[in-house]
Amino acid sequence: MKLLTTRRLNLRSLKLSDAADVSALMTPKVSRWLTNFPTPFSTTDAASRIRRIGEAEAAGRACVFGFERMEDRAFVGWFGVYLNATRSFGVLGYWLGEKYQGAGFMREGAPVALAVAKKRLNIIALQAFIHPDNLPSLALAQSLGLAAVGEKMVYASARDQDELCTRVATP
């Protein structure tokens, strides 16, 4: 995947060498908003996830970008679009490490990553499931053209329970 840049970020393919950073950034305060990133999330867990994403990308089922801060090459999080089982729409998944939140990195990188993912995966329709109290994530989804269309119980493998999420989708 070609390296993309924004004013402050490099958007690039995930690498196995990112596993230690992903593990370290997946704190309880980050994981609590994500359905499938438990804590602790070991380096081995992260490497396995990165491998599976690489396989999904090779099969044309996903497009995921690692976000790297240009000034120091720090891995700060990722943004991905994953095709649903029928390949009829893309599901968004994104997160930033706790110490990188609030700096506008996701707002800066997400539109660029999403534009490439939509083209690469040939999708128009998108959706995401966001915890109703995760206001920054809901605001980001809205800025990307998604709107709240209801609530749904979603299985959160990270906590082995169903959780209420706001479903956002393209109109």
Averaged over successive runs of 10 residues, the pLDDT of the chain (171 residues) comes to 91 98 98 96 98 97 98 98 92 98 98 97 96 97 97 96 98 87
| Cα 148 from Cα 21, distance rounded (Å) | 32
Q: Which two tokens mark 154?
A: 């979603």
| Cα 32 from Cα 149, distance rounded (Å) | 22
pLDDT the model gives residue 171:
87
Q: Which residues of 12-37 are buried (b: 16+ CB within 10 A; e: fewer)?
A: bbbeeebbebbbebbeeebbeebbeb
pLDDT the model gives residue 88:
87
pLDDT the model gives residue 85:
86
